[in-house]
């Protein structure tokens, strides 16, 4: 069966939708991870840690994205894959539809992966950017209750930074800086959930 790309105009964010989301779903969102935001672009950074070795976290990131990436952060709850090479695809497919979430532009195994494009509704807004995943090993205190003689154990830190540019708009009208900042707060929260899903999966698998 021929695959086709499906348009999700109903998922486009509006100012009223943002107000509802921010007041009801995310009442205590912090702006701490937002480096800057206005109606022409933004930069956000999130970090999360796992007690799994960096090689394991990276392997889960690439090979098991379909297992750890939140399915409610997809178009159709379809199958996900990340091609581990420059020019590769972070893609979602079903039996009747497909979507390129982002394109892989840089791969340094166990260290860094860069993807380019616009995630979710940002793609249809014409917003594009660089999504950079950085994997590093750090020392950490032994987790509570762990049975070990060593008080320091290796730990993996994953940093996720998204630098995006383009005119943020709703229903064809350019957003105010305030509404754009509200949208970025939602994006920041969503990416924090995605990153924590990866490190939690690595801690438990």
Whole-model pTM?
Answer: 0.80
CATH code, 32-204 = 3.30.530.20
Q: What ranges make up the beta strands (E) of the chain?
A: 34-38, 41-50, 79-82, 89-93, 98-108, 112-117, 128-141, 152-165, 169-170, 173-174
Instruction: Report yes or no: 162 and 135 within 8 Å, Cβ to Cβ.
Output: no
Domain boundaries, the chain: 32-204
Which pLDDT score is estimated for 137? 95
Which pLDDT score is estimated for 132? 98
Which pLDDT score is estimated for 152? 63
Of 46, 20, 28, give the one whose Cα is nearest residue 194: 46
Q: Which residue has the tokens 């205590």?
A: 28
Q: Per-residue confidence of the chain (205 residues) as pLDDT tens digits?
A: 433 333 333 233 333 334 434 333 333 233 348 999 999 999 999 999 999 999 999 999 999 999 999 999 999 999 999 999 999 999 999 999 999 999 999 999 999 999 999 998 899 999 999 999 999 999 866 555 555 544 567 899 999 999 999 999 998 899 999 999 999 999 999 999 999 999 999 999 9
Which pLDDT score is estimated for 172? 87
Which pLDDT score is estimated for 17? 39
């Amino acid at each position: 069966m021929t695959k086709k790309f499906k348009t999700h105009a109903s998922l486009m964010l509006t100012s009223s939708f943002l107000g509802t989301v921010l007041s009801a779903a995310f009442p205590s969102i912090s702006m701490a991870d937002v480096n800057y935001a206005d109606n022409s672009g933004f930069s956000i950074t999130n970090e999360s840690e796992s007690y799994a070795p960096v090689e394991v976290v990276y392997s889960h990131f690439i090979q098991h994205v379909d297992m750890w990436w939140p399915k409610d952060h997809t178009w159709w709850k379809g199958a996900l894959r990340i091609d581990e090479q420059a020019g590769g695809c972070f893609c979602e497919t079903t039996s009747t539809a497909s979507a390129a979430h982002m394109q892989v532009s840089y791969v340094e195994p166990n260290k860094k992966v860069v993807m380019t494009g616009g995630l979710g509704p940002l793609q249809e807004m014409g917003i594009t950017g660089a999504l950079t995943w950085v994997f590093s090993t750090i020392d950490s205190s032994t987790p509570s209750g762990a049975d070990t003689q060593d008080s320091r154990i290796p730990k993996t830190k994953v940093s996720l930074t998204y630098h995006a540019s383009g005119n943020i708009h709703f229903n064809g009208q350019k957003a105010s800086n305030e509404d754009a900042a509200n949208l970025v707060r939602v994006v920041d929260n969503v990416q924090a959930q995605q990153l924590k899903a990866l490190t939690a999966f690595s801690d438990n698998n």
